[in-house]
Amino acid sequence: MPGTNLSRAEAQERAALIDVVSYDVDLDLTAGSETFGTRTTVVFTAAEVGTATFIDLIADSISSIDLNGTALDPATAYRDSRIEMSDLQAENTLTIDAVGNYMNTGEGLHRFVDPADGEVYLYTQFEVPDSRRMFAVFEQPDLKATFTFHVTAPAHWQVISNEPTPEAIAAPNAANADGIEVARWEFPATPRISSYITALIAGPYDVVRDEVTSTAGTVPLGVFCRKSLRPHLDPENIMNITKAGFAFFEAEFAHAYPFTKYDQIFTPEYNMGAMENAGAVTIVEDYVFRSKVTDAIVERRALTILHELAHMWFGDLVTMKWWDDLWLNESFAEWASTTAQAEATEWEQAWTTFATSEKAWAYRQDQLSSTHPVAADMVDLAAVEVNFDGITYAKGPLS
């Protein structure tokens, strides 16, 4: 019984059998405070006709499954967070209509109500295996595909994803049950990326916009936070670090920024420091400073900004096949961001800070019974979840 787990062996077997062409994901965020509508159409190929595989989904309920024009019964096809499919064709089209659950744990599509003004803020956190909480997906990093998102949401919201936000259009039913005006956003397709770096952020976020000149042209920049936090946001510092990082990484990596825009969104009730969603980085809201902080905290935020930006090239453009190489993803981002901070910002002593904080974190972690080799043996998703630690992040850059 896999429950919500997925083993490396299963992932390897699935990647040997199928290639994913595209996902088309239609989300209805106007269905109330507990659930949302999610309809996924996946086009994928199979190396062998007549074989079987499965797709991942953690849903409240599934109303229909259609594989190549044949209806599958959710009651029998859906169990243990998987939808089983057999009799695959060379090219397959799978459509799944489901109801998803908003989360309050920071996994999947998180929903937060601002106590200051009662506004609703949504954001996603998908690493490691939680995009399946928002849409049906082959949830493993090596099965890259294009993703096209369609979103129906309250008209006054900002809706942010990996691609630039399109002009909102009037939704077919212009008002939902609560009488709130709703609109529809039809995003362009992403480049081929892993599902864990796709993202959706939606709500009446406030935004500061700017742009940076990349070697491939102008890249729009956005910094977002809750409306009630806007008086505390210091966007100039964040934009300046971001621009310094763009120039440094493009020169050092000899490769233009690989996505079309770069948004950074400060999100509430966030479990981690930040997440490198392609072109739509989420950052813990503690980094919007509500009172005067020490320079060490500002330095730490700058490192986080550069860490996520480094991931656009290393992690997002170039991605590990499986989570065994998580250490390389994270340690390289730590090394690249600390180097950028030392050489392209005012914090020239960044490696000294690394030695006293990150290196100490690695030493401390190494003394525990939970220590592990830098390159860990990630046999399944459960093993990955416990390895976001001082070894994976901070010991690797020392190697």
> Which chain residues interact with Zn ion by CB under 5 A?
330, 333
E-strand spans in the chain?
18-28, 35-46, 53-56, 61-67, 70-72, 78-79, 82-85, 91-101, 108-113, 120-125, 146-154, 158-161, 169-175, 181-186, 200-203, 206-214, 217-225, 262-267, 274-275, 280-284
Backbone φ and ψ of 244, nearest 5°: -60, -40
Closest CA to 320 of 332, 306, 302: 332
List the catalytic residue out of 127, 308, 330, 358: 308
- Amino acid identity of residue 296, one-letter, is A
Burial 122-159 (b: 16+ CB within 10 A, else e): bbbbbbbbbbbbbbbbbbbbebbbbbbbebbbbeebbb
- Amino acid identity of residue 240, one-letter, is N
Min dist CB 154 to Zn ion, Å, is 32
Nearer of residues 83 and 384 to Zn ion, judged by Cβ:
384
- Taking CB atoms, the residue at the shortest distance from Zn ion is 333
Tell me, yes or no, if 276 is annotated catalytic. Answer: no
Nearer of residues 244 and 326 to Zn ion, judged by Cβ:
326
- Amino acid identity of residue 334, one-letter, is E
Which tokens belong to 138?
A: 């082959």
Nearer of residues 38 and 198 to Zn ion, judged by Cβ:
198
Q: Is 204 exposed, middle or buried (0-12, 13-18, 19+ CB in 10 A)?
A: middle
Min dist CB 328 to Zn ion, Å, is 11
Min dist CB 333 to Zn ion, Å, is 4
Min dist CB 128 to Zn ion, Å, is 12
Q: Work out the angle at residue 142's Cα, subtended by the Cα atoms of residues 137 and 145, and round it to the nearest 5 degrees.
A: 55
For residue 12, give the H/E element and its range: helix 8-17
Whose tokens are 């936000």? That residue is 165
Min dist CB 305 to Zn ion, Å, is 12
Nearer of residues 163 and 330 to Zn ion, judged by Cβ:
330
Nearer of residues 58 and 333 to Zn ion, judged by Cβ:
333
List, by residue number, the catalytic residues. 308
